[in-house]
Amino acid sequence: MTGALDNAVPKLHPASREILPDDPLEMQAFEVPGDPQLMLRLLVEEYARMGWGVDAIMQLARDPNYQAFYQLRQAHGDGELRRRVSEILSRCGVLRVKATETQPLSERLVQIELPT
């Protein structure tokens, strides 16, 4: 059984890797080829599943730490990006969950009379 296994890269946990002097040890963002509209749709749908609406998603677009949304805002402008985000949300919706707590049931036992 040779072939693909001969070229396999050994699996190393990042914590066990050697630290190199030129390794910045921080996340780096860079542009990759692809469809920006598809990326926008997938990002918006992901945040919508977490309950984020238009305003919350647009806040991400103003934060340079969120490079994908930030670059899309730079490319389209605030108004156009908001329109596109709203359009995507109108198709997929926003997951909203409401949790309520009730009072615990009484610990008192109630005798139930059964007909004989």
What distance in Å separates the CA atoms of residue 77 and residue 94, rounded to the nearest whole number?
A: 23
Which pair of tokens denotes residue 43? 């990002």
pLDDT of residue 32: 77
Q: How confident is the model at residue 105 (pLDDT cuts 50, 70, 90)?
A: confident
pLDDT of residue 3: 56
Each residue's pLDDT tens digit, 12-30: 777 787 777 777 667 676 7
pLDDT of residue 29: 67
pLDDT of residue 77: 94
Of the chain, the percentage scoring pLDDT greater than 70 comes to 89
Would you list the DSSP string of 80-100?
Answer: HHHHHHHHHHHHH--------
Each residue's pLDDT tens digit, 37-60: 999 999 999 999 999 999 999 999
- Distance between alpha carbon 116 and the CA centroid of its chain, in Å? 61
Domain ranges of the chain: 34-93
